Amino acid sequence: MSRRISPVIPGFGLTLGYTLVYLSLLVLIPLGALFLKTTQLSWEQFIAVIGAPRVLAALRLSFGTALLAAVLNGVIGTLLAWVLVRYRFPGRKLIEAMIDLPFALPTAVAGIALAALYAPAGPVGRIATELGFKIAYTPLGITLALTFVTLPFVVRTLQPVLADIPREVEEAASCLGAKPWQVFRHVLLPALLPAWLTGFALAFARGVGEYGSVIFIAGNMPMKTEILPLLIMVKLDQYDYAGATAIGVLMLVVSFLLLLLINLLQRRISTP
């Protein structure tokens, strides 16, 4: 007669119910209310709102700059994680703390600091102006702000995975005649890629919805440097709640589809 094995976590039914209620209150009910508010618009009105040239321009800017910032952090964050895990040097703890700074720093403070640095009157912006281009109040400035805010997601996602890869594996591959690129391609990349995609997805998702650090450096010019979160705030200031929720639904659906695609790709890569 087989004995019933008790679960590791007692009260599974209670804890599952608590989890579902907590998730519903924080995520499902607010998102459901968002979709419900949008039903005040007819289908034709909804298409007219999200198909407006100003909305489409903000959509391209928000998702384009968030994607570019996530790609940049995918490269820069990988190098930083590698250096912090593989090497010991003076000032390492300071760099570790600086990477976590965007998590603790209010985004508005970051936006003001970046605007003061990269504006035409700022120390870096003045040099850029003399060279014939602008950083602040352009998509380039928005990308820099998003890169600053989303950097920790890639670094902190990759560090534990790199720490779990023994150096002996790389040394063994080198002893067998593998070149550095081959070691990276065949030894490190398969182990890092799922974590890299996770960090990329987190950075991208954070960048799409970022507001505080962007509005100070973006310039907020309609059709040029106006992001979707700011456009939602403009709709709310005009008491156009249905229009604001329609743009919110658009952001939610596009973000969900992109994150779903990334997760499916990650699962496919992780499956042996």
For 150-191, how does the pLDDT look when each residue is reduced to its tens digit (9 = 90+)? 999 999 999 998 888 887 887 787 787 778 788 778 788 888
Predicted confidence at residue 204, as pLDDT, reads: 92
Predicted confidence at residue 127, as pLDDT, reads: 92
Rounded to 10 degrees, what is the CA torsion of 67, 36, 212, 55?
A: 60
Predicted confidence at residue 12, as pLDDT, reads: 66
In this structure, are residues 114 and 216 in contact, taking their beta carbons and an 8 Å threshold? yes
Residue 39: Cβ within 10 Å count: 10
Task: Flag the least confident range among 42-46, 208-212, 236-240, 259-263.
Answer: 259-263
Please say if the pLDDT value at position 118 is more than 80: yes
Domains and CATH numbers, the chain: 41-270 (1.10.3720.10)
Note the pTM of the prediction, 2 decimals.
Answer: 0.85
Please say if the pLDDT value at position 10 is more than 60: no
Instruction: Tell me how far apart the alpha carbons of residues 133 and 120 are, in angstroms, rounded to a whole number.
Output: 10
Predicted confidence at residue 219, as pLDDT, reads: 84
Predicted confidence at residue 8, as pLDDT, reads: 57
Could you tell me the pLDDT band of residue 193, with boundaries at 50, 70 and 90? confident
Average pLDDT of the chain, as a whole number: 86
Predicted confidence at residue 272, as pLDDT, reads: 60
Predicted confidence (pLDDT) per residue in 54-111, tens digit = 999 999 999 999 999 999 999 999 999 989 988 888 888 898 888 988 888 888 888 8
Placement of tokens 């300071």 in the chain: 94
Mention every residue, 6+ apart, whose C-beta is less than 8 A from residue 56: 50
